[in-house]
Amino acid sequence: MPTIFFYGPKLELGKKKELIRAFTKAASAATGIREEAFVVYLRETAPDQVGVGGELLDEKLKKN
């Protein structure tokens, strides 16, 4: 059972469904494994819980 994890911002339900469909379709096309075998986990992650380039993403976003 191939598994895909996505860590990112909070998304509305329609965007979650779209993302799951897109990941599944692309992974199936790339691997030749049937779409029904894939499991996708969406993990909501707040910007103050992510580091980029040695800084909190939340702080980087506030600078821009």
Task: Summarize pLDDT for 31-49 with one digit per residue, the tens.
Answer: 999 999 999 999 999 999 9
The pairing of strands 51-52 and 39-44 is unpaired
Which helix (DSSP H) or strand (DSSP E) does residue 19 occupy?
helix 13-31
Mean pLDDT over each residue of the chain, to the nearest integer: 95
pLDDT band of residue 17 (cuts 50, 70, 90) is very high
Report whether pLDDT(64) > 80.
Answer: no
Contacts (Cβ under 8 Å, ≥6 apart) of 20? 40, 42
Mean pLDDT of 54-58: 93
Q: For residue 62, give the DSSP letter.
A: H
Domains of the chain, first to last: 3-63 (3.30.429.10)
